[in-house]
Structure 1
Amino acid sequence: MAIGLTDEHAALADAVRGWAERNVTSDVRRAGIETRDAETRPAFWPGLAGQGLLGLHVPEEYGGQGAGLPELAVALEELGRALVPGPFLPTVLASAALLRSDAVINDGDGAARAELLPGLADGSRTGALSLAAGLTGTREAGGLRVEGTSTPVLGAALADVIVLPVATGQGEEWVAVDATELEVAVRPALDVTRGVASVTASGVLVPDARVLDGLQGPDVLDLAAVLMGAEAAGIAGWCVTTAADYAKVREQFGRPIGQFQGIKHKCAAMLIELEQARA
């Protein structure tokens, strides 16, 4: 178990792993890969949302579970282990970033918070977050006028709302924009389970309630590193386990290859790196 994780986290991991094993089979993954050019929400999406995983880190008053990032990271590791396709990671990245924003947390009447978070938490709305520069903004009465293109944006083609960095004369600001206000174009992606896209804003006026005051680029990068790293650790965990299991049954020269010192060292080195990542 990684440093800082409790028995409750282990129980959560077991529950998520069990759900993934039942609902995201190899056939489901293959079907997603075969139809990735026409990317849609996966059939298991309502079930995933029904487990409350999309809202683990969202306060209960907005339809979430009221937990935190450690719990979300635990869930992401298990979903990564099962190579679950679809917009889970982009959506929780967007909602986690929104929760770090003063505009959402401290907004006087809570309008932005009430509008965005419940849908992201219950799965009725999907999200995405860009880490790429390329957008510029000019202050106008009532909001921020945004121009430019940001690419690549993970999961943008399936997103209903996209969190974007915008360069202004006063520095970088972050905005949450409905995808219908943007031009979203699918781009080639190395990841066969999830797409990327370019996002273009052509004079989009983002209202003040959607300008996320207080959200800083380093904070967003920290969130992305934690959540993407958790998913990557899950994928790595599957790779290590599968490689070790194969080494026990694959025979060469009359015995399992796992008995050869060179293979043992490789498996041990992979396990050490995995445990360092999980810690």
Structure 2
Amino acid sequence: MKLVLSPEQQQLREAVRAFLCTAAPLPKVREGYDPQVYARLNGELGLSGLIVPEEYGGAGAGLAELAVALEETGAALLPGPFLATVFATVAVTRLGPAPDKELLTGIAEGRITATLARPDADADITYDGTAVHGTLAQVLSGMEADVLVVPALGADGVVMAAVELAAPGVTRTALETLDITRGQARVVLEGAPARVLGSPPESGVGDRLCVALAAEQLGVLRASLDAIVAYAKIRVAFGRYIGSYQGVKHKLADMHCKLEQAESIVRYAAWAADESPEELPEAAALAQAYVGRACFEVARDHLLLHGGIGFTWEHDAHLFYKRAKADEVLLGPPRLHRARLANLLEL
């Protein structure tokens, strides 16, 4: 088991962090998705192709490297379809020995952004041999993505289909979401042209999505803690820095403990995905059961410790708070993952 980043992973982290600091600083986050930043993210760093196999133009890296990148994009609150594209890539690369070359190559080159219909989506999507029909109530980055990867019921069972979201027969409606840095859309498919990518993977996709999301949540958690620690060193109340008050110090210590535990859990889960698949189900369930809630609690407390200024629209605290809450329930609330973990452990 490896819980410490390798030198190569540290270099990746530093490169992504440096890029995001200059290309997508927090003030720019409020402007929303910038396709030019996304293009540079892929053109200069190749992040969209990080886990795409080398034969399709990607880097062929593992989930451990992807987790490093997602931690940084989470800390920067990167807007746009990067996480959604990661979800779609995870699903497509698990479709068997010969996944869809056209889609993976386009993702690796940064030409295609994609999204994945939620595995637990309450939708009846059907495939008639050439087109898909049905409605998806919530699609992550549905307005920005180019391709939707969706399970659909065909004549011979469920298949994974790819739908061009700009094609005829597709209607997208932007939803009003809690997290203003990353949108969702209602997608109606009325005879939308589709191509079959393969049969749904038997296992592993949902667990890898949980690990990927937990990595982003770890970044949000870390950035929230860094922000309030920095503020506690300069904010003066009643003639003292607020960081000198026992109540604040204890709260910051508790937040740091949550960060340390979350980091270990994410590192372990990413390692399991790459090196020990038999341990992945429990590791992934633990990641979402713990990290999602810990991320929200730290983001919440970081907002509260900022005092009145933290509640204003001008401050960044509410951006972290909302991303943390949206991520916490993106793949189901923590209680569902706790229940799954208990079942896996036969408790």
After TM superposition, the score normalised by the length of structure 2 is: 0.69
| 1:12-62 deviation digits (Å, cap 9, x = unpaired) | 111110111121123322322xxxxxxx64321221011111111111221
Aligned to 1:199: 187
User: Does the alignment pair 1:45 with 2:38?
Assistant: yes
1:250 is the counterpart of 2:242: no
List alignment gaps of at least 5 residues for structure 2.
Answer: 265-347
Q: Which moved more, 1:6-15 or 1:120-129?
A: 6-15
Q: Shift of residue 155 of structure 1?
A: 0.6
> For 2:132 and 2:48, how far apart are their aligned partners in 1?
29
Residue 49 of structure 2 corresponds to 55
Aligned residue number for residue 98 of structure 2: 106
Shift of 1:5: 2.9
The verdict on how the C-alpha distance between 1:4 and 1:162 changes in structure 2, with shifts beyond 3 A counting, is: farther
Show the counterpart of 1:17: 17
Q: Distance in 2 between matches of 1:177 and 1:223?
A: 22
Residue equivalent to 1:126:
113
Report what 1:110 is aligned to: none
Distance 1:41 1:127, change over 3 A: farther
Secondary structure at the residue paired with 2:5? coil
Percent of aligned positions that are identical: 40
Query: What's the CA shift for 1:135?
Result: 2.7
Displacement of 1:168 in angstroms is 5.8
For the residue of structure 2 that corresponds to 1:91, the secondary structure is helix
Cα RMSD between the aligned structures? 2.2
Residue 75 of structure 2 is aligned with which of 81, 84, 100? Answer: 81
Q: Distance in 1 between matches of 2:199 and 2:176?
A: 33
Tell me the residue number matched to 2:64: 70
1:220 Cα deviation after fit: 3.0
Question: What residue identity is the alignment partner of 1:100?
Answer: R
Give the superposition deviation at 1:213: 1.1
Counterpart CA distance in 1 for 2:257 and 2:158 is 39
Amino acid at match of 2:249: K
> Structure 1 residues 244, 170: CA separation in 2 closer, same or farther (over 3 Å shift)?
farther
Task: Specify whether residues 134 and 85 from structure 1 end up closer, same or farther in structure 2 by C-alpha distance, changes over 3 A only.
Answer: same
> Relative CO higher for 1 or 2, CA cutoff 8 Å, sep ≥ 6?
1
The 5-angstrom pairing of residues 221-236 of structure 1 reads: 221-236=206-221
Note the residue ranges of structure 1 that are not aligned, 5 or more in a row: 33-39, 108-112
The number of residue pairs the alignment matches comes to 258
2:226 aligned to 241, 244, 248, which one?
A: 241
- Structure 1 position 153 matched with structure 2 position 139: yes
**Residue 129 (structure 1) shift:** 1.0
Measure how far apart 1:258 and its partner are.
1.1
